[in-house]
Structures are given as structure tokens and as C-alpha cells.
Amino acid sequence: MYQELIVREKKISVIGLGYVGLPLALEFAKKFSVIGFDINESRVQMMKQKEDPSKELPSEAFENKDIHFTSNPEDLRDAHFHIIAVPTPVNESKVPDLTPILSASSAIGKILKKGDYVIFESTVYPGCTEEDCLPLLEKESGLTLGKDFKIGYSPERINPGDKKRTIATILKIVSGSDDDALEQIAKVYSEIIVAGIHKASTIKVAEAAKVIENTQRDLNISLMNELAIIFDRMGIDTKAVLEAAGTKWNFLKFSPGLVGGHCIGVDPYYLVHKSKQVGYDPQVILSGRRVNDGMPAYVAKRLVKMLIGKGKSPYESKVLIMGVTFKENVSDIRNSKVIDMIRELMQYSINVHITDIHASPNEVAHEYKLTLIDNISDDYDAVVVAVGHDEYLKYDLKYFKSIMKDQPILFDIKGMYHFEENDLEYWRL
């Protein structure tokens, strides 16, 4: 397979061109002939115009690449090495929603040929590739794994907004349905990954490795959040505690915060789902999830208490929220926990103004029915810096005071500043 791909006798297809699929497809298109497929026609049109709909890549990233963008599944027949990078969200009950990955598996099954490879990159629970997706590939194609085609799993580890750690510089885990598949898949990825390849012993090991990376991070942050709640009650500055504890060589450095986005706060539910299926009700993982999911309400309640403590009625208070994206320096607003905090504040009848340097006002309006303000006024009762965008670092005490009324309150969720002033109430997690 590798040999035919590298001499461009065969093509690679990437299915699902979002945050993961598009950079991956463009990276492969430096060395291989690639078909980039997405069901969303308007996104495909943008990509044809050298525009990344996810706003992560500049137009130069599309230059000199051997890639054909399409929303026609028939075009996938021309490819032999298919990589699936579609979303794997959870539904409202926090149960894995496999609709996109199953429908992508069916679509590939319909065009699968003898000798083809199918690699899954989407984050899933251990067993999903072989137990949920493979049967669809076999059913739709009438072909048999091993005899007719091969599969693999290679999780994506990119970090949105991170310009340093890009696909090529992150060590890649690969796995295959047999030794030959593993070798071929590893060779193909080796062409674009300079950081190296880790060959996992089985597909389930590779699936589990990815899902626990994010579960571990979620749990570590949940511990920091719980500590922040405890220390806040005691009047102890959590950040100062973490700085002190962090001087020990084996203290792990994590910070409290709102855990949103479509990875850290979602992936643990994939593991939880599988765990329950095999008869074990996870305790630790779910308790971490509960703490993290409770943080938006906790912060909102803390602010309301502080407003009331200053004799300000929530009903008459005006609060500015700076930042609505799910994390710093990205424009992605999906599953942002800042939105949960805003909704909570609104339930207390607070007049909430929202601004964000990176988020698209249209997307915020469309997704959450919320309006981003054009002009920041000068009569806020409190300001909440909810997301640590680099651009917000330039604001100083004078600035925050200038946009607030008497008895100003500054909530610095990410601990970006450190103000010690008598006439400004400064609070951080």
C-alpha cells in the first residue's frame, strides 16, 4: 500500500475536514495524492477557495498541495487509503453520539474495494472501531476484514490554537488489524510525522490511549477546581498555593478553570459509556466530570454573592464577560462553558454584556442566541475575564477601573492578572 501511495498510483482520502481532518489532509497532500471529502458542501466550497472554515489555517496552507476537495461520495472510489476524522460528540444525556462515525463508515463501506485500508482518527471508546464501525464496512461492501481489506486506528492529538505543536511535530500512535496493516499504516504516517510513530499492539490499545489522555487531563483539572472551591471558602489564594506546591519535583501542574470544548469535557463520557457496558460504574471519572460541569454555576453564584455583598441587586447589575470561546486564543465556541456561566447569570436577572476578540458574532448569535456587543461601556458593576486570550493580557488595573462603576469587581477566571487594590474587589479561581 505504502509504495503505491508514495508513487501516487493510489490515493489517500480524508473523510471529515474539520479541525482535525483538514490539517491532516493538507499535510498528506505534501507527499501523496489526496481526496478531501466532507458532507458539508459550503465548507467544501470554502476549502476550494483556499479558506479554512475552522479559521485555524492561513490560505498559504493550501498552496502547492495535491488535493481535490469534494462533497461527492462517489469521488471516494478513486482512493484506497481512507482516513475517517468525523466528529464524535455526546448527546444531551452525555451518551456517545456515533451518528457521524457510523454514517461515514457506511459511506466508505459502499465504495470499499479489495486491498483498501480504512483508518479511524476520531476519538472513540475502546472497541468502537472493531465492534461498531467494522461491521458496517463489511456489511456495505460485502468484503471481509483481513482477506479483502484492512483497518487501523490512529488517534489525533492536536491542541487547538497551538501554533507550535502541529500535526507533524506530535508523536503519532498507530495501530492496525494485523502486523502487515500496522507496518503499512506506520510507513504512510511516517512520511508526514517528523516527531515519530508509536506502534500500539492492538486497535483497542490505541483507542484507549487517546481516550485516557483526555480523561486524565479532565480529572486533574477537576481536582484543581475542587481545591479552588475549598480554598475560596478559607480565603486562601489557590494560585499562590499551586505555585508553592509546584516547586516540588513531582507535583503536577494544572490550573482550575472551565472545562469546555469537544475533547476534554466529552471524551471521558466515551470511556464511561464503555465501562458501564462491561459492567463497571466509574466513580472517579464521573466525579471529576461532575465537579467540572458544576464550575460555571459555581462561578456565577460566587459573583452574585459578591454583588449582593456590595449592596448591588443582581436585577440592577450590569456585568461584562470577556471571552466566550471554549479556550484561549481560538475562535471555537462549541461546548463553551462560559455560555453556561452567562446563562446562569442571566437567570439571576443580571444584565450581561459579552465581548470576545476571536469569536464570530454571527456564530454566537446562531449557536446560542446571544449578542456580542460592539462597544464596551464604562458603567459595569463587574467584569469577568472568562477566557485567557493573549490580547487581554494588555489590560491593567486602570483599564478595568475605567469601565466599571463604584465598588468594582473583577473576576479573573484564568488567573491572568494579580491586582491587590483596596478599591477593586479582585477574585480568581
Ligand X SMILES: NC(=O)c1ccc[n+]([C@@H]2O[C@H](COP(=O)([O-])OP(=O)(O)OC[C@H]3O[C@@H](n4cnc5c(N)ncnc54)[C@H](O)[C@@H]3O)[C@@H](O)[C@H]2O)c1
Q: Which residue, chain included where needed, has cell 493573549?
A: 390
Nearer to ligand X among residue 44 and residue 352 (C-beta): 44
Nearer to ligand X among residue 32 and residue 153 (C-beta): 153
Query: Which helix or strand (DSSP H or E) is residue 230 part of?
Result: helix 203-234
133 is catalytic: no
150-153 and 172-176 as β-strands: parallel, antiparallel, unpaired?
Answer: antiparallel
Q: Which residue is nearest to ligand X (CB)?
A: 18
Nearer to ligand X among residue 40 and residue 255 (C-beta): 40
Catalytic residue among 219, 263, 272, 303: 263
Cα 404 vs. chain centroid, distance in angstroms? 33
User: Around Cβ 97, how many Cβ atoms within 10 Å?
Assistant: 16
Nearer to ligand X among residue 20 and residue 319 (C-beta): 20
Site size with ligand X, rule: CB under 6 A: 27
Taking alpha carbons only, the member of 140, 144, 139, 75 closest to residue 115 is: 144
- The stretches of 13-72 forming alpha helices (DSSP H) are 21-28, 41-48
- The stretches of 31-168 forming alpha helices (DSSP H) are 41-48, 99-111, 134-141
CB of 356 to ligand X, least distance (A): 19
Nearer to ligand X among residue 15 and residue 319 (C-beta): 15
How would you list the strands of the sheet with 425-428, edge to edge?
351-355, 318-322, 380-385, 404-412, 425-428
Task: Give, as ranges, the residues between 107 and 126 that touch ligand X (CB under 6 A).
Answer: 122-123
CB of 216 to ligand X, least distance (A): 15
Taking alpha carbons only, the member of 286, 292, 341, 266 closest to residue 94 is: 266
Q: Which stretch binds ligand X (CB under 6 A): 32-40, 58-66, 132-140, 289-297?
A: 32-40
Q: Which residue in 160, 176, 323, 388 binds ligand X (CB under 6 A)? A: 160
Pattern 209-248, ligand X, x by CB under 6 A: ----------------------------------------
Task: Give, as ranges, the residues between 38 and 77 that touch ligand X (CB under 6 A).
Answer: 38-40, 43, 54
Q: Which residue in 11, 16, 134, 268 binds ligand X (CB under 6 A)? A: 16
Here the cell at position 332 is 471555537
Number of Cα atoms under 13 Å in the Cβ half of residue 348: 24
| Rounded Cα distance, 23 and 147, in Å | 32
Work out whether 262 is an interface residue with ligand X (CB under 6 A). yes
Q: Which stretch binds ligand X (CB under 6 A): 9-17, 218-226, 243-251, 295-303?
A: 9-17
Nearer to ligand X among residue 80 and residue 82 (C-beta): 82
Which residues have CB under 8 Å from 413's CB, separation 6+? 257, 258, 299, 384, 385, 386, 387, 428, 429
Residues that bind ligand X (CB under 6 A): 15-21, 37-40, 43, 54, 85-88, 100, 103-104, 122-123, 156, 158, 160, 262-263
Residues that are catalytic: 263
